[in-house]
Amino acid sequence: MGEVDPAFIQAPEHRPNLHAIEAKGIPLIDLSSLSNNNDPSSLEGLVREIGSASKEWGFFQVINHGASIDLRHKIEEVAREFFAQSLEEKNKVRRDGDQVLGYYDTEHTKNVRDWKEVYDFGVEEPVLIPASFDLNDKEVTQWFNKWPQYPPQFRELCQEYAKDMVKLALKLMELIALSLNLPQKRFDEFFKDQTSFLRFNHYPPCPSPHLALGVGRHKDSGGLTILAQDDVGGLEVKRKSDGQWVRVNHTPNAYIINVGDIIQVWSNEAYESVEHRVMVNSERERFSIPFFFNPSHYTMVEPLEELTNEQNPAKYRPYNWGKFVITRKRSNFVKLDVENVQIHHFRV
């Protein structure tokens, strides 16, 4: 990526602070009690921890999560092998405005280019999604994964890893449901024809890490995000208590979890989706693998009835998730003159 092109340069007020505060307060939650069915008190404690972390931070890390560490190491290795190829090879699976899954290296966040390259693939094959962002257009289209020929076993490992992430996500959604005093399986129905996807991120060394960001400030628009990051680190979270950007420490084999905008809406703001961003550095490349757990395209996202009443009325109008996604995707390929659609546009 060479020297910093002006397209990468953040506005002065959004530039990173290279002397980051370490986020000691982000909860580290041990999920091992999930396998101990004979101790209801340990589950109650775990549910309280999840609820508190979701409310106070919108972020937490989990250990003893049950996902395969061996598989995680394999998927991290094939991601490195994929990105190590020539641009010509990677462009064979390049995504575009019609088929939005695959390789890409010119993504924008908040209309500023990110210092990264990515590869996306959908959990469902194909992913069902509205054909256009026109609210009156009922046509549905399909997004297909673009699988590279190299590395070998790439597709097989990706599909296996995706299954692992879905299992973990459903477990976490059950804990979040219980923390909101909802039935344990309350959220399952929304993910039957899920639009979830996984992303491989590669952040090359950047000659001007004080000017550019790997990913600019943003909130995740979906349900839940599960992130595997390497030991280089770089993820920063905007602390709710004082608005400071704080760095999330690397914990070996842990996953970083954050609640997305949809949980903010479903919970009627009991839990809040929090702004975050990714720093780059001048010496080391960074790799990360986020899994975005998203509902079916036909889901109407709105505060759950059980969590609203006269004293706490619904804070959002319903919106269609599929149409929301299609509208958002435009900004990946076109630099917009206005802010892309956000959940605050649906706030009552």
pLDDT tens profile 11-36: 999 998 877 677 677 899 999 988 77
In a domain, 318, yes or no: yes
pLDDT at 37: 66
pLDDT tens profile 32-42: 988 776 677 78
| Structure tokens, 221 | 């628009």
pTM, entire model: 0.94
What separation in angstroms does the CA of 151 have from each of 77, 79, 84?
Answer: 10, 9, 10
Residue numbers of the domain that contains 274: 6-346
pLDDT tens profile 184-241: 999 999 999 999 999 999 999 999 999 999 999 999 999 999 999 999 989 999 998 8
In a domain, 181, yes or no: yes
- Hey, which residues does 198 pair with through a beta bridge? 121, 291
Q: What percent of the chain has pLDDT over 70?
A: 95
Asked if the model's pLDDT at residue 172 lies above 70, the reply is yes
In a domain, 235, yes or no: yes
pLDDT at 1: 46
Q: Helix, strand, or coil here: 282? A: coil
In a domain, 270, yes or no: yes
pLDDT at 18: 78
In a domain, 1, yes or no: no
Domain with residue 318: its CATH number is: 2.60.120.330
| Structure tokens, 209 | 């890490």
pLDDT tens profile 55-108: 999 999 999 999 999 999 999 999 999 999 999 999 999 998 778 899 999 988
pLDDT at 264: 98
Overall domain count for the chain: 1
pLDDT at 4: 80
pLDDT at 331: 52
